[in-house]
Amino acid sequence: CYRRGQAGHWSSQCTRELRCYACNQPGHLARQCTNAEAKAANDAYLQQRETKATAPAAENN
Tens digit of each residue's pLDDT (9 = 90 or more) over 9-19: 677 777 677 78
Percent of the chain with pLDDT over 70: 74
pLDDT at 1 over 60: yes
Residue with the larger pLDDT of the pair 17 and 46: 46
21 in any annotated domain: yes
41 in any annotated domain: yes
Domain count for the chain: 1
Report the distance separating Cα 49 and Cα 10, nearest Å.
Answer: 27
Residue 26 β-bridge partners: 19
State the residue range of the domain holding 23: 13-53
Q: Which pLDDT belongs to residue 59? A: 61
DSSP assignment string, the chain: -TTTT-SSS-GGG--SPPB-TTT--BTS-GGG---HHHHHHHHHHHHHHHHHHHSPPPP--
61 in any annotated domain: no
